[in-house]
Structure 1
């Protein structure tokens, strides 16, 4: 199966992109032709470069393949057309109602943490419970992800940073393996984007034992450790806090803006009663 890796970045023209997304979704040329309502011969010509797609064909194929909006724009550009989807994000006036909805979700999650992340796990917003937790866990430490002067906190880097959250996560190895999978999967789609590569490379420098030759993650699942729990909890410990948490991820329904589609709202819930009590106590002791 074709993959988009940094080594094949130069090949990101329309035929290569179409072939990548078809393989990624598990379609044969024949199967894609059936769902797209065109001949298999036409799909073959598009992937070989012998035929040029119309704008409507690019959008139709992207829809059938479930391509994310950012990559649909990239397919259009590769086909010689202007992007179809905006990238204004939450700051744009049309998104004011979305802003209000996200603020409501964050507020309703109190006294438990909730955070809003962009596609590269930069912190967009967070409720007070999350900010309190982050402040306690990072007390006395200055992660590299917070020292870049960009004004943004990259939570993925903060988790893996030995000077960040890594020492505060009791099951860091388990959690790290899972998160590294997410970074690697994102890299397969965003290989042409320098940010995705830099995030993975920095994690590899911090934790070389988790990345094998050629920069491929070592997915060394701990086999033989019994039946795994229904969800993997994140066990955090720091001054004034010790808790076990699991999380849910929320995305916006039917987004028509690239940035809005990529937003993730992660809500954390206590995995046991002691953890619930810990966050309730933190909320009660917090200043107004």
Structure 2
């Protein structure tokens, strides 16, 4: 299993700039945000221009009204001159031992089908044995070049040649990344990742333009061509409810399920072979 790497922290900036960026990203007027946060539009205007200092309570209400992830909520507090409200623990540390046990249980229960634990930038932190088996089969025995799911799908030297419906999957991944960039203006890591994947060979120039309010498919199927046969998976995403730790808030678990009997048989066959 891959070990958790410390997440890169976006620069905080000043509180007024951050609020304007988040408000603009969500297309909220000052009046709309002020109403949601239960403060006066005049007070919000003064906070954004630096004429007024926001209290900690007001900063918390603004972060909640903007649906900020815990990491960005902390950045807003720091920019306003306050201590962060949420800790950031190592996932393999004692503070999150129960969370790690839950993750291990989910990964084990998903066998013989793949499951991945990723952070909000799609860095693969852990994966179950089924994921390793399927990956080895579709990669023709080559070692993964990247520990990031999006890079692995976009890089011609990665998983991309094995993805039969690459255009469909790549556009869906790109849409999610563009949404993250648009809704998290302080996230430089996401911005750099977006710029990088758009530079890979064969990525159409038209994909640089974000399609606003694009409707996702009701269920996306990933089709992977391997040595043993063709795998067809759909995925579910698991997140942790009401987290109070930045690390936990950033995590999601992608579990892959077979679309057809052929895929189910292939996965069980790979599992059996690995036990011989």
- Whether these two folds match at TM > 0.5 is yes
Q: Structure 1 residues 10 and 196 mapped into 2: Cα distance closer, same or farther (>3 Å)?
A: closer
Give the counterpart of 2:197 among 183, 203, 218. 203
Give SS of 1:249's match.
strand
Partner of 2:30: 29
User: Runs of 5+ in structure 1 lacking a partner?
Assistant: 1-8, 146-152, 220-227
Partner of 1:73: 74
Determine the C-alpha separation between the residues in 2 that align with 1:71 and 1:188: 14
Determine the C-alpha separation between the residues in 2 that align with 1:209 and 1:249: 26
> Deviations 1:226-277 (Å, cap 9, x if unpaired)?
xx96312000011113111110111111111111101010000111222122
Alignment partner of 1:155 is 2:149? yes
Moved more, 77-86 or 197-206: 197-206
Determine the C-alpha separation between the residues in 1 that align with 2:99 and 2:132: 22
Give SS of 1:267's match.
strand
User: Runs of 5+ in structure 2 lacking a partner?
Assistant: 1-9
Determine the C-alpha separation between the residues in 2 that align with 1:230 and 1:287: 36
Determine the C-alpha separation between the residues in 2 that align with 1:123 and 1:267: 13
Q: How is 1:121-140 mapped onto 2 (pairs within 5 angstroms)? A: 121-140=122-141
Determine the C-alpha separation between the residues in 2 that align with 1:229 and 1:204: 22
Give the counterpart of 2:158 among 140, 147, 164. 164
Partner of 1:149: none
Indicate if the aligned counterparts of 1:237 and 1:243 stay in contact, CA closer than 8 A: yes
Q: How is 1:80-229 mapped onto 2 (pairs within 5 angstroms)? A: 80-141=81-142, 144-145=145-146, 153-189=147-183, 192-207=186-201, 209-212=203-206, 216-217=208-209
Determine the C-alpha separation between the residues in 2 that align with 1:279 and 1:241: 10
Partner of 1:238: 226
Determine the C-alpha separation between the residues in 1 that align with 2:71 and 2:115: 25
Moved more, 28-37 or 81-90: 28-37
TM-score, length basis structure 1: 0.83
Moved more, 136-145 or 54-63: 136-145
Moved more, 121-130 or 165-174: 121-130
Alignment partner of 1:45 is 2:46? yes
Q: Structure 1 residues 275 and 197 mapped into 2: Cα distance closer, same or farther (>3 Å)?
A: same
TM-score, length basis structure 2: 0.86
Moved more, 254-263 or 18-27: 18-27
Determine the C-alpha separation between the residues in 2 that align with 1:10 and 1:129: 38
Determine the C-alpha separation between the residues in 2 that align with 1:266 and 1:159: 15
Indicate if the aligned counterparts of 1:116 and 1:124 stay in contact, CA closer than 8 A: yes
Alignment partner of 1:275 is 2:276? no
- Alignment length, in residue pairs? 264
Moved more, 114-123 or 166-175: 114-123
Q: CA deviation at 1:21?
A: 2.5
Indicate if the aligned counterparts of 2:89 and 2:247 stay in contact, CA closer than 8 A: yes
Partner of 1:286: 274
Determine the C-alpha separation between the residues in 1 that align with 2:92 and 2:60: 27
Indicate if the aligned counterparts of 1:177 and 1:210 stay in contact, CA closer than 8 A: no
